[in-house]
């Protein structure tokens, strides 16, 4: 970036990013032996436009899954996303839209944090690689989850509530691990390209973030155990005289709240475990973990060795097929 005037010329910056990303893309294809397509285009846009893009994408995805909000409700959602404490999250933000294959980057990040550009873009490339490599069956079953929750709300069906909680919690843990895998693959690629100093700095940041946030995953685990407690109490003959440890509705709201917070720090939470899997078993081990044996307990993210032990037996089969 030394030869590019960020303040003056977005086109020059886009071209520099494009050329740098193409080098990272070639290295990823070589390193992981997985051929995947590059972005169709790269666009630097204002933070306000990023919020518009994301909210419209949210609206379209929800509509496709049978959830329709009124214009007034969406206005409230946009106001929430526009508040200062939320917009800070979007400052170091980039995302690619699978429907148009375009990578969108926040102009503010490029202006204020140019040192973040390469790692953020490499992360997005890793996401694109994984979307090509993983089978379609890994896609989050949002539609089924929405139907399950809607039925629970309409019928007050406790069994369906437990099913919803269990499925949703699994999705949260799998999503955290996948984000960690994208970060691990990105940093492994950058390290192999000679960015050792930058990678060391990023890993220190990830380590600090992980230690600060890991309790969030244990909170979700505790909520799941509370759910089991409710279920056992309901099965007792003297249920009417018992007081449930936590109200079901409150439990659902708590888990939804935690999972929204977790989304913003998922790469911190998932990176140490993902790096351990990637270093020991390679990208095939990542695929096995995500598709067959996802880490669905907080203890695995706090203690990667426990999860590696779990993966050992099935991974031997994979290694024999190499």
Q: How far apart are CA 26 and CA 289, in angstroms?
A: 25
Q: What DSSP string runs through 196-261?
A: HHHHHHHHHHHHHHHHHHTHHHHHHHHHHHHHHHHHHHHHSTTGGGS--SS-HHHHHHHHHHHHHH
One domain for residues 170 and 252: yes
Domain boundary among 72, 107, 133: 133
> Would you state the pLDDT for residue 155?
64
> Would you state the pLDDT for residue 265?
82
Predicted confidence (pLDDT) at residue 15 exceeds the cutoff of 90: no
One domain for residues 171 and 102: no
One domain for residues 90 and 190: no
- The mean pLDDT value for 77-88 works out to 56
One domain for residues 169 and 121: no
Write the pLDDT tens digit of every residue in 168-220.
788 889 989 999 999 999 999 999 999 999 999 999 999 999 999 899 888 88
- The mean pLDDT value for 263-291 works out to 92
- Residue whose C-alpha is closest to residue 17's, from 88, 99, 107, 87: 107
On whether the CB atoms of residues 119 and 198 are closer than 8 A, the answer is yes
Tell me the pLDDT of the chain averaged across its residues: 77
Predicted confidence (pLDDT) at residue 285 exceeds the cutoff of 80: yes
One domain for residues 6 and 57: yes
One domain for residues 211 and 308: yes
pLDDT band at 228, cuts 50/70/90?
low
The mean-pLDDT minimum among 16-20, 179-183, 202-206, 229-233 falls in 229-233
One domain for residues 280 and 194: yes
- The mean pLDDT value for 62-71 works out to 68
One domain for residues 302 and 278: yes
Tally the domains of the chain: 2
Domain boundary among 115, 133, 151: 133
Domain assignment of residue 73, given as a range: 1-133
Predicted confidence (pLDDT) at residue 273 exceeds the cutoff of 60: yes
On whether the CB atoms of residues 1 and 16 are closer than 8 A, the answer is yes
Write the pLDDT tens digit of every residue in 98-153.
778 888 888 877 877 778 888 988 999 999 999 889 875 444 455 555 556 666 66
């Amino acid at each position: 970036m030394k030869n590019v005037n960020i303040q003056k010329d977005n086109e020059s910056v886009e071209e520099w990013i494009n050329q740098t990303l193409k080098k990272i893309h070639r290295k990823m294809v070589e390193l992981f032996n997985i051929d995947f397509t590059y972005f169709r285009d790269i666009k630097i846009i204002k933070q306000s436009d990023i919020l518009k893009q994301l909210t419209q994408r949210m609206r379209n995805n929800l509509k496709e899954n049978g959830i329709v909000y009124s214009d007034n409700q969406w206005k409230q959602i946009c106001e929430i996303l526009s508040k200062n404490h939320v917009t800070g999250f979007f400052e170091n933000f980039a995302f690619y839209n699978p429907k148009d294959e375009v990578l969108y980057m926040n102009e503010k990040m490029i202006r204020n944090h140019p040192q973040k550009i390469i790692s953020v873009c490499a992360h997005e490339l890793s996401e694109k690689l994984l979307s090509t490599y993983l089978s379609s069956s890994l896609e989050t079953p949002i539609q089924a989850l929405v139907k399950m929750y809607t039925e629970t709300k309409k019928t007050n069906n406790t069994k369906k509530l437990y099913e919803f909680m269990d499925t949703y919690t699994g999705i949260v843990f799998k999503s955290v691990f996948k984000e960690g895998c994208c970060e691990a693959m990105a940093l492994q690629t950058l390290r192999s390209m000679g960015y050792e100093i930058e990678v060391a700095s990023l890993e220190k940041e990830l380590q600090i973030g992980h230690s600060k946030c890991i309790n969030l995953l244990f909170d979700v685990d505790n909520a799941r155990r509370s759910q089991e407690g409710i279920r056992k109490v309901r099965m007792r003959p003297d249920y009417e005289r018992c007081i449930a440890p936590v109200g079901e509705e409150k439990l659902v709201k708590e888990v939804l709240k935690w999972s929204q917070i977790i989304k913003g720090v998922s790469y911190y939470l998932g990176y140490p475990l993902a790096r351990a899997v990637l270093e020991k078993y390679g990208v095939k081990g990542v695929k096995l973990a995500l598709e067959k044996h996802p880490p669905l307990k907080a203890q695995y993210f706090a203690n990667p060795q426990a999860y590696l032990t779990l993966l050992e037996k099935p991974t031997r089969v994979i290694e024999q097929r190499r």
